[in-house]
Structure 1
Amino acid sequence: MAKVNVSLDAELVVEVMVLAGVGSPQDAVELVVRDYIARGHRTEARTELREQGLREADARPQEPQG
């Protein structure tokens, strides 16, 4: 996998390290990025299921009103 070097504010990285409970700045930032990506995938999956349910509800024949 290709590597990328990014400059970040030291205070920001230290705070991430503390919150993540990790001693390495590299590991801490990688955990945050992986978590962000995983959250995005979970959100997409929930949204897709919700939209699919709405489509199925719209596709059902409606009972006559009146």
Structure 2
Amino acid sequence: MIPGFEDGIKGHKAGEEFTIDVTFPEEYHAENLKGKAAKFAINLKKVEERELPELTAEFIKRFRR
């Protein structure tokens, strides 16, 4: 993940169009992008959030062998 990318998306809603300015980290795997600034044009189609179950004794029993 590119630092700042996820934070740049947070708070936006489906259907929004916006840009995010980031800088690729020096440790990035692609040599030609290391340390480079970039601007991403985002067209956010869908927003999903995972809802984790409450960790109760009953929930844990379901996964015991």
TM-score by length of 1: 0.24
Between 1 and 2, higher relative CO (CA 8 Å, sep ≥ 6) is seen in: 2
TM-score by length of 2: 0.24
If each structure's strand is expressed as a fraction of its own residues, which one has the higher value?
2
If each structure's helix is expressed as a fraction of its own residues, which one has the higher value?
1
Please say which structure displays the higher CA radius of gyration: 1
